[in-house]
Amino acid sequence: MFSICKRKYFYHYYNKYDQKIPVRLIRDLKDLSSIPLATGIAAHEVIEALLNRLGKTNQDVDRVKFMDYALRTSEHLTKSSQFHEVYYQQIEGVAIEDVYPKVELSLENLLDSDRYRWLVEEAIETSDDWVIEPGGYGETRMDDLKVYFKVDFLFPVGDLLYILDWKTGKQDAERHRKQLVGYAAWASYHFEVDADHVVPTIAYLHPKYEEVEEVFNEFDLEHFAIQIRAETEEMYEYCRDLEQNIPIDKSEFTRIDDPRICSICEYRGLCWPDDYPVASITEEDANSWALRDQTDPSSSSLLNQSLG
Ligand code: SF4
């Protein structure tokens, strides 16, 4: 988030320091879901239940009942979430048809994959040691910095530790590679094994089942630690009091000028009120909160130009 848009990072982590916009509004926006997010959450929840069951029995899954469970999980999420697509009046409402078909296909793809067969037939032997969607965030130390990683599924086979990370979204080689190194670092630290004994894998569930796996060595981890250190130091520059984690002025957290990114951001109504009006923000609010800040280089007129 920090590398993509500093303003988003501010709204996400430092919203209580916003001197103009009510914190409640920023937090309401922060809590908004989206169709891709709800799809991913539903798939993760159902796979978690599938793996927990698999840890107890390798009897065939009753697909009809399983898919019914997936449908109800998706329905619950669809009904209980507030979606930014609706909030910004792009669509009237989110229906189960907007979420479930992708969840269903993702799960079918997993159940039909060689990986799932291998889990049922071989990996199951160590199911007592499986770590499935652990709560909280796994803390790791890298170069004296605290770093947190959250894995979906970790399990040992032979002298290797496998990590699977489910994705329902698009492939993103660079970002996901970073995630894989992070998982290797976490598992290596936490379970005291050499990095090259960890097999972190991204499992893309949609539109077809595909895996990207990479094994790293100590040199990769050292290089990763250097990157983390550099990124952390850059973040520190945005704090005026590091101890208390108090940020510098919000105006320093610049807005990105990229309509592709802003058009799917939950805070777009704050950054670009003319393009994404928020019903609860009046003209007067927008002006007094300086939402139309012309001194910001990425002003809304620039956005309008780039949108054509
Ligand atoms: S709308 Fe754009 S500029 Fe504003 S926080 Fe989101 S990504 Fe950043």
Q: pLDDT tens for residues 81-93?
A: 999 999 999 999 9
Give residue 139's pLDDT band: very low, low, confident or very high (50, 70, 90): confident
Q: In the predicted model, what is the mean pLDDT of residues 294-302?
A: 44
Indicate whether 204 and 138 sit together in one domain.
Answer: yes
Residues 6+ apart with CB under 8 A from 42: 70, 73, 74, 77, 99, 100, 103
Instruction: Give domain status of residue 243, yes or no.
Output: no
Pair (172, 73) in one structural domain: no
Confidence of residue 295 (pLDDT cuts 50, 70, 90): low
Domain shared by 49 and 136, yes or no: no
Q: Is the CB of 5 under 6 A from ligand 1?
A: yes
Q: What range does the domain containing 19 cover?
A: 6-31+254-307
Ordered strands of the 210-213 beta sheet: 131-132, 153-157, 160-167, 198-204, 210-213
Identify whether residues 161 and 232 lie together within a single domain. yes
Q: What is the DSSP letter of 91?
A: S
Mean pLDDT (the chain, rounded): 90
What is the token pair recorded at 33? 């879901």
Last residue of a domain, one of 53, 80, 112: 112
Domains in the chain, number:
3
C-alpha neighbours within 13 Å on the C-beta side of residue 121:
7
Q: How many CB atoms lie within 10 A of CB 155?
A: 21
Q: Is pLDDT above 80 for 136?
A: no
Long-range CB contacts (within 8 A, 24+) of 112-119: 112/209, 113/209, 115/164, 115/203, 115/209, 115/211, 119/51, 119/54
In this predicted structure, what is the pLDDT of residue 293? 56
| C-beta 255 within 6 A of ligand 1 | yes
Q: Is 121 among the domain residues?
A: no
Burial category of 32 from C-beta neighbours within 10 Å (exposed 0-12, middle 13-18, buried 19 and up): middle
Local structure of 156: helix, strand or coil: strand
With a 6 A CB cut-off, is 278 part of the ligand 1 pocket?
no
The answer as to whether 182 is a domain residue is yes
Most confident of 37-41, 133-137, 302-306: 37-41
Name residue 60's amino acid.
Answer: D
End-to-end CA distance of the chain: 26
Residues 77 and 176 occupy one common structural domain: no
Measured CA to CA, the distance from residue 74 to residue 96 in angstroms comes to 7
Q: Tokens representing 262?
A: 């802003």
Q: Does 102 sit in the ligand 1 pocket, CB within 6 Å?
A: no
- Percent of the chain residues topping a pLDDT of 70: 94
Q: Which of 112, 135, 158 is the last residue of a domain?
A: 112
Residues 223 and 136 in one domain: yes
Q: Is residue 241 part of a domain?
A: no
Distance 165 CA to ligand 1 centre (A): 27
Residues 75 and 97 in one domain: yes
The Cα 290–Cα 297 span in angstroms is 14
Residue 155 lies in a domain: yes
Pairing of strands 153-157, 138-142: unpaired
Give residue 257's pLDDT band: very low, low, confident or very high (50, 70, 90).
confident
- Choose one of 209, 236, 263: the last residue of a domain: 236
pLDDT of residue 287: 80
Q: Residue 137 falls within a domain, yes or no?
A: yes
Tell me the DSSP string of 93-121.
---HHHHHHHHHHHHHHHHTSHHHHHHHH
Residue 104 domain-assigned?
yes
Kindly state whether residues 137 and 208 are assigned to the same domain.
yes
Nearest to 194 by CA among 224, 163, 161: 161
Q: Beta 246-247 vs 210-213: how paired, if at all?
A: unpaired
Nearest CA to ligand 1 atom 3: 255
Whose CA is closest to 168, among 93, 85, 90, 110?
110
Pair (209, 139) in one structural domain: yes
pLDDT at residue number 137: 66
**In a shared domain, residues 146 and 216:** yes
Mean pLDDT of 193-212: 95
Which atom belonging to ligand 1 lies closest to the Cα atom of 266? 6
- 265 CB within 6 A, ligand 1: yes
Q: Counting atoms of ligand 1 from 1, which one is nearest the CA of 256?
A: 3
Q: Are 198 and 286 found together in one domain?
A: no
Averaged pLDDT, 78-103: 96
Q: What is the pLDDT of residues 8-56, one digit of tens each?
A: 999 999 999 999 999 999 999 999 999 999 999 999 999 999 999 998 8
Same domain, 105 and 59: yes
Percent of the chain, pLDDT > 90? 73
- In a domain, residue 52? The reply is yes
Name the residue type at position 62.
D
> What is the Cα–Cα distance from 80 to 90, expressed in whole angstroms?
19
Strand, coil or helix: 10: helix
Please give the number of the atom of ligand 1 that sits closest to the Cα of 6: 8
Q: What is the CATH number of the domain that holds 191?
A: 3.40.1350
* This prediction's pTM: 0.88
Judge if the beta carbon of residue 84 lies within 6 A of ligand 1.
Answer: no
